[in-house]
Amino acid sequence: MDKSASKFPEAKKVTIASLPGVKPLLLKGADNDEEEHGHSHASGEKSDHDHHHGEYNMHLWLSPEIARLSAVAIHDKLVELMPQSRAKLDANLKAFEAQLASTDTQVSHELAPLKGKGYFVFHDAYGYFEKHYGLTSMGHFTVNPEIQPGAQRLHEIRTQLVEHKATCVFAEPQFRPAVVEAVARGTSVRMGTLDPLGTDIKLGKSSYSQFLTQLANQYSSCLKGD
C-alpha cells in the first residue's frame, strides 16, 4: 500500500492510523513468536522483519469504533475535494453511522454469552474485534500467516487443548494449514473458520455491517457448538 499511496498527493490521502481519534485506540502489535526468530530464510525470501506488521496492530478494519472514525475522516476529505457533493456525502455518512450502530448492538448481544470462552486463532489479527466485544482469545498460532508456527509453539497449544482450556481453534480460508487440524486432532476442541477479509462479501453500502455480522456468526457458531 505504501508504494501505491506514494503516487498520490498528500492532499488526497487519509492516513487512518494517524487520525487524532484513532491514535489512542491503537493496539500494540504482537512480538514475533520464538519460532519465527528461528525461521531460516532461503535466498530472496523476506525476513521476519520484512513480514512484521510494525509497532502497532494494523488490522484496523476489525474495530467498529475505528471504522466509524475512518468514515467520518473519509467524508470530510471528500467534502474538501468535492464540495459540490456535500449533501450526498452527508447523507451517506449518516446512513453508514446508523447502520453501524444497529449492527454493533446486534453483534454485542450475539457475542455477550460467549465472553470467557477460550479459543485459539490462527494468526494475530483479531485484537480490535475481540477487545470491542469482550472475547477471550488464548493466543494465536503465528504472528505472520505466511510463516508456519514452530514445534514448541504447537506443543504449548496442544497441551492447553488437551487440558480443555479452549473450546475452539480457528483457521482462516486464506490460510488453512494442516498444523491447525493436526494440533486439534484427538481432542474435544471444535474447529472453526474466521475470515478477517470478508472475501465472499460483495461491495455495497451494507458491506461493512455484513462483515461484522459474518465474523460474529463465525465466532458464535464454533464457540456455541452449533
**Residue 174, CA atoms < 13 Å, CB-side half-sphere:** 13
pLDDT averages per 10-residue partition of the chain, 226 residues: 89 94 91 39 36 74 98 98 98 98 98 92 90 91 71 81 81 75 83 93 97 97 82
Cβ atoms of residues 170 and 121 within 8 Å: yes
Candidates 133, 100, 98, 93; CA nearest to 117 is 133
Reference 168, options 193, 140, 191, 141; nearest CA is 191
* pLDDT for res 24: 96
Per-residue pLDDT reduced to its tens digit, 52-69: 446 899 999 999 999 999
What pLDDT does residue 143 have?
A: 61
Q: Is residue 48 within 8 Å of residue 144, measured between CB atoms?
A: yes
Half-sphere exposure of 164 (CA within 13 A, CB side): 1
Q: Please, are residues 145 and 195 in contact by the beta-carbon 8 Å criterion?
A: no
Enclosing H/E stretch for 190: strand 190-193
pLDDT at 29: 79
Contacts of 183 (CB under 8 A, 6+ apart): 141, 154, 157, 158, 161, 169
Q: Which of 35, 38, 91, 97 is nearest to 67 (CA)?
A: 97
Reduce the DSSP state of residue 122 to 3 states and report it. strand
63-108 confidence digits (pLDDT tens): 999 999 999 999 999 999 999 999 999 999 999 999 999 999 999 9
Q: What whole-number distance in Å separates Cα of residue 164 and Cα of residue 16?
A: 40
| Predicted pLDDT at 105 | 98
Closest by CA to 167, choosing from 203, 197, 199, 135, is: 135
